[in-house]
Amino acid sequence: MPAGPRKSPRQNWTRTETLVAFRLYCATPFGQLHHTQPNIIALAAKLGRTPSSVSMKACNFARLAPTHQLRGIDS
C-alpha cells in the first residue's frame, strides 16, 4: 500500500500560544476567523504553526462564546 503524504507530528498548544490565539480571537470580528486572513497567517508564522491550526483554535473559542451559543451559531 503506498504511503500518503507525511503529516507533521501533533504539537500541543502551550499556555502562551493559547493566550495569544485568544487575543487574536478577541480582536477579530466574527466571520473573519479564516485561514486566509492576513492576521491569522502572520500569527501562524510567528508561532511556527499553520494558518489552519490558528484559525481552528480561534474558532474553538468562538464555539464557546455565550453570545454565539445564544444565537445558535455553530462554528
pLDDT at residue 58 greater than cutoff 60: yes
Reported confidence tier of residue 30, pLDDT bands at 50, 70, 90: confident
**What distance in Å separates the CA atoms of residue 22 and residue 53, rounded to the nearest whole number?**
13
Share above pLDDT 70 across residues of the chain, in percent, rounded to a whole number: 76
User: Domain boundaries in the chain?
Assistant: 15-71
pTM: 0.75
> Angle 15-27/38-47 helices, nearest 10 degrees?
170
CA distance 57 to 3: 29
Residue 70 has pLDDT above 50, yes or no: yes
